[in-house]
Structure 1
Amino acid sequence: MAELYRYTLQKEARSLYLSVHEKSAPTLENGQKGELKFSGTWGIEKADFDAIVQIMVDAIKAELGSFGNPSDYFLACMSGKTAAKRVREAAAFKASKPGLNSDDVFKIKEKAEKRAALYEQFAGVLSASSKYDVSLAQMVAGKIVDIEGEHNIAKAGKDLFYPGSFTVPSIALKAFRRKTMDAKDGCTAYLQNCLFLRKGERIAGGSGPANNEVFGSFQGYSSVDPTAGAPDNASAGFSEGEDAF
Structure 2
Amino acid sequence: MIPPYTAILALASTTLAAPTLSARENFDESWDDPFIPEPISFEIRNAGAQCDYQLVYERFSVDNRYSIDYIAEYADGSQTKVNGLSGTLARDKLWLVDGLEEDRAFQVVFFQDICSSGTAPSSFRVNARLKGGFTYENNWTSDSFDITEGSLPGNPQNVQISSAEDSSTVSWDAVQGASGYVAIVRWLVDSELGPDSIPFVWAREVGADATSFTYDRDFTSASVVAIGDNVAFTPLDVAYDVTPS
Q: Do both share a fold (TM > 0.5)?
A: no
Report the TM-score range of the alignment, normalised by the length of the smaller protein. Answer: under 0.3
Q: Which has the higher strand share?
A: 2
TM-score where L is the length of structure 1: 0.22
Instruction: Specify which structure has the bigger relative contact order, considering alpha-carbon pairs within 8 angstroms and separated by 6 or more residues.
Output: 1
